[in-house]
Amino acid sequence: MKLVVIGMGLMGGSAALAMRRSGAVTSVYACDVSPQSVQKAVAMGVAEKGGCDPCEAARGADVVMVATPVLSMESIFRKIRPVLSPGAVVTDLGSVRVTVQLAARRSLGEKIARYAPCHPIAGGEQTGVEHSNPDMFIGKRVISTAEPDSDPDAVRIMEALWKGCGAEILRMSPERHDRIFGLMSHLPHVLAYAMVAMIAESREPELLLSMGGSGFLDFSRIAASSPVMWRDICLANRRAISDGLRRYRKELEIFQKALDEGNADTLVAEFALAARARRRLSSPAPKTKEKGQ
Amino acid sequence: MKLVVIGMGLMGGSAALAMRRSGAVTSVYACDVSPQSVQKAVAMGVAEKGGCDPCEAARGADVVMVATPVLSMESIFRKIRPVLSPGAVVTDLGSVRVTVQLAARRSLGEKIARYAPCHPIAGGEQTGVEHSNPDMFIGKRVISTAEPDSDPDAVRIMEALWKGCGAEILRMSPERHDRIFGLMSHLPHVLAYAMVAMIAESREPELLLSMGGSGFLDFSRIAASSPVMWRDICLANRRAISDGLRRYRKELEIFQKALDEGNADTLVAEFALAARARRRLSSPAPKTKEKGQ
């Protein structure tokens, strides 16, 4: 199976490595607007060949995986549509589903039937193909958000590819996906960015940042994520994120009031509620290895 | 040197193990309101002996380390004062300095000269002596917040003990400590608790929590921390935390507006500012190993 990855960054590179290792993919073509990223992918053995032109890339592909920031996807779908083989499967790794799937419907034309979107709940704050990791998807979830008119064969192909990477498949509507991940992934990114931006805008950012312990480092790790990728996610899923942020700000009002009034009971009740919920998810703490720590 | 730890949890247990391993401490007495914690400490070899009465514990100690939630410290200082040997050093591990040091001044009487407070910037969201780890302080900072009338000999003893645990000592006024850690440690805990509390109060908490990826797990890890410990920290440093929270809420207003207006430029500028600052701190991401991931 020939895989073409358009957008050769951390996610595209990791998916290519993992799918090749599983044996399902036998050749990979790396496409990126940056010739450097293509060169790195080839030098690292992520891909055999590569180039900057999506049309050239997509020709003859069995699977075309679009792994760019979500708002770039529509123009890529539009460009590749005329050159797709009849049986080619098109997929993308976008963290936002409704907007991207509407874009796919607008731009892929009759090829929409062979569009099988899957969002892997995996990643990292590091950017660039040089950080690619074929283990990234082991034990992780991949959310398959196919629509009623998706070709079951295309969906099966994509789901099998992801299972081969060690992931577990979960099917969900695009709408439900966006509500859940707007709250559980997109909103925390906004909150972490806001915290670090506030420190960066303070009078002594360097000193403050140097004082962050492992708690701060964990909390703020996602604030190192790609700004362009997250700008696109925020715009593409802004209704859900905006609603979540509004609810969170109401929650913070409760905490502000409790702090200002020295209301020990409210504080301990909210903390205990959160700690009980969070502890159900956690096993021993990871070792945090970072500079200055 | 005989060390007495009053409050035998994660921090007290880890400090006892680390100070014993360094060779500076030759015997440890574990004191806790919970007989189970004392038993565990003795069974694990954290301490040779132990008991529930602080007065009995402190008698004959070279160093008394109070490692309870911060608002319990004053009554402990008051209880142990009459039994302290003339040369005994008193210290505590409190994450808030001004309130605790005022309490020490009120309650330790003439023994205040031998009070040498040091706050290790280390820890974890796990609670209980059973998670004690003698490596916890290696490469970490310990903030020494001695006051002008502190006995330099007592300060030297405590700082040497912490250096022996692998920590780096940084001296700072209690006021400056509380402003910095109010922002860099206490506020992020409040924000993480608020996020998880909001999810826990939603209509489908279990489903949502099960969908958290590694980003959410990192961001929310500190929300599993001890509710009583953090209630006390919030009350004891509430001015600084409250001010920080007010600033953060203003920051979120900017993000809310940008989201609602679809303002791509503001979003990417804020994200890029934060990412640049955060990336200066980070090296390769830790491996996150948690249930459901």
Single residue among A172, A192, A218 that ends a domain in this structure: A172
- Give the torsion through C-alpha atoms of B178, B182, B183, B185, to 10 deg: 110
User: What average pLDDT score do residues A44-52 get?
Assistant: 97
If asked whether residues B200 and B138 sit together in one domain, one would say: no
Contacts A–B by Cβ distance under 8 A: 331
Say if residues A37 and A8 touch (Cβ distance below 8 Å): yes
Collapsing DSSP states into helix, strand and coil, what is residue B140?
Answer: coil
pLDDT band at B74 (very low <50, low <70, confident <90, very high): very high
Looking at the domain assignment, is residue B197 inside a domain? yes
Reading across the β-sheet that carries A118-120, which strands appear in turn? A118-120, A141-144, A168-171
Looking at the domain assignment, is residue A284 inside a domain? no
pLDDT for the residue B291: 40
If asked whether residues A120 and A210 sit together in one domain, one would say: no
> Regarding beta strands A141-144 and A168-171, do their DSSP bridges make them parallel or antiparallel, or are they unpaired?
parallel
Give A-chain residues touching B272 at CB under 8 angstroms: 227
Per-residue pLDDT tens for B172-206?
999 999 999 999 999 999 999 999 999 999 999 99
Single residue among B172, B207, B228 that ends a domain in this structure: B172
- Res. B292: pLDDT tops 50: no
CB contact under 8 A, B249 and A252: yes
pLDDT for the residue A126: 85
Single residue among B137, B172, B207 that ends a domain in this structure: B172
If asked whether residues B103 and B185 sit together in one domain, one would say: no
Minimum-distance CB partner of A192 among B201, B219, B279: B219
Minimum-distance CB partner of B218 among A181, A199, A218: A218
Give B-chain residues touching A290 at CB under 8 angstroms: 281-283
If asked whether residues B209 and B154 sit together in one domain, one would say: no
The H or E element spanning position B151 is none
Per-residue pLDDT tens for B112-154?
999 999 999 998 888 899 999 999 999 999 999 999 999 999 9
Per-residue pLDDT tens for B204-217?
999 999 999 999 99
Q: Any idea what the CATH number is for the domain that residue A183 is in?
A: 1.10.3660.10
Q: How far is A130 from chain B (nearest CA, A)?
A: 12
If asked whether residues B65 and B140 sit together in one domain, one would say: yes
Give A-chain residues touching B199 at CB under 8 angstroms: 183-184, 277
The H or E element spanning position B293 is none
Collapsing DSSP states into helix, strand and coil, what is residue B33?
Answer: coil
Distance CA A126, CA A85 (A): 34
Minimum-distance CB partner of B273 among A197, A262, A283: A197
Q: Any idea what the CATH number is for the domain that residue A80 is in?
A: 3.40.50.720
Name the nearest CA neighbour of B8 among B135, B131, B129, B130: B129
HSE toward the beta carbon, residue B235, CA cutoff 13 A: 18
Inter-helix orientation angle B227-236/A264-279, to 10°: 140
Percentage of chain A beyond pLDDT 70 is 96
pLDDT for the residue A123: 86
Collapsing DSSP states into helix, strand and coil, what is residue B171?
Answer: strand
CB contact under 8 A, A197 and B274: yes
The amino acid sitting at B34 is: S
Collapsing DSSP states into helix, strand and coil, what is residue B38?
Answer: helix
pLDDT for the residue A282: 62
The total domain count for chain A is 2
Only one residue has tokens 């577990």, namely: A168
Percentage of chain A beyond pLDDT 90 is 94
Say if residues A97 and A36 touch (Cβ distance below 8 Å): no
- Res. B6: pLDDT tops 70: yes
CB contact under 8 A, B121 and A211: yes
- Res. B33: pLDDT tops 70: yes
Say if residues A178 and A237 touch (Cβ distance below 8 Å): yes
If asked whether residues B143 and B109 sit together in one domain, one would say: yes
If asked whether residues A144 and A275 sit together in one domain, one would say: no
Other CB atoms within 10 A of residue A147 CB: 17
Looking at the domain assignment, is residue B284 inside a domain? no
The amino acid sitting at A46 is: V
Looking at the domain assignment, is residue B211 inside a domain? yes
Looking at the domain assignment, is residue A266 inside a domain? yes
Say if residues A24 and A129 touch (Cβ distance below 8 Å): no
If asked whether residues B159 and B235 sit together in one domain, one would say: no
CB contact under 8 A, A252 and B191: yes
pLDDT for the residue A127: 87
Mean pLDDT rounded to a whole number for chain B: 95
Distance CA B193, CA A263 (A): 16
- Res. A71: pLDDT tops 50: yes
Enclosing domain of residue B22? 2-172
Per-residue pLDDT tens for A77-86?
999 999 999 9
Collapsing DSSP states into helix, strand and coil, what is residue B13?
Answer: helix
If asked whether residues A155 and A65 sit together in one domain, one would say: yes
- Res. A292: pLDDT tops 50: no
Task: Quote the tokens at residue B137.
Answer: 């302080």
Per-residue pLDDT tens for A135-188?
999 999 999 999 999 999 999 999 999 999 999 999 999 999 999 999 999 999
Distance CA A18, CA A21 (A): 5
Per-residue pLDDT tens for B79-112?
999 999 999 999 999 999 999 999 999 999 999 9
pLDDT for the residue A291: 40
Q: What is the ipTM of this complex?
A: 0.91
Looking at the domain assignment, is residue A17 inside a domain? yes
Looking at the domain assignment, is residue A289 inside a domain? no
Distance CA B32, CA A123 (A): 43
- Res. B289: pLDDT tops 70: no
Percentage of chain B beyond pLDDT 70 is 96
pLDDT for the residue B124: 82
CB contact under 8 A, B196 and A139: no
Write down how long chain B is.
Answer: 293
Burial bucket for residue B210 (CB in 10 Å: 0-12, 13-18, 19+): middle
If asked whether residues B163 and B183 sit together in one domain, one would say: no
If asked whether residues A164 and A180 sit together in one domain, one would say: no
Q: Least CA distance to A191: which residue of chain B?
A: B252
Q: Least CA distance to A220: which residue of chain B?
A: B219
Q: How far is A212 from chain B (nearest CA, A)?
A: 6
Give A-chain residues touching B273 at CB under 8 angstroms: 196-197, 200-201
If asked whether residues A117 and A233 sit together in one domain, one would say: no
Looking at the domain assignment, is residue B291 inside a domain? no
Give A-chain residues touching B192 at CB under 8 angstroms: 219, 274
Say if residues B292 and B286 touch (Cβ distance below 8 Å): no
Mean pLDDT rounded to a whole number for chain A: 95
pLDDT for the residue B282: 62
pLDDT for the residue B66: 98
Write down how long chain A is.
Answer: 293
pLDDT band at A285 (very low <50, low <70, confident <90, very high): very low
Q: How far is A275 from chain B (nearest CA, A)?
A: 4
- Res. B286: pLDDT tops 70: no
Per-residue pLDDT tens for A173-206?
999 999 999 999 999 999 999 999 999 999 999 9
DSSP string, chain A: -EEEEES-SHHHHHHHHHHHHTTS--EEEEE-S-HHHHHHHHHHTS-SEEES-HHHHHTT-SEEEE-S-GGGHHHHHHHHGGG--TT-EEEE--S--HHHHHHHHHHHGGGGGGB--EEES---S--SGGG--TTTTTT-EEEE---TTS-HHHHHHHHHHHHHTT-EEEE--HHHHHHHHIIIIIHHHHHHHHHHHHHHTSS-HHHHHHT--HHHHHHHGGGGS-HHHHHHHHHHTHHHHHHHHHHHHHHHHHHHHHHHHT-HHHHHHHHHHHHHHHHTT--SPPPP--TT-
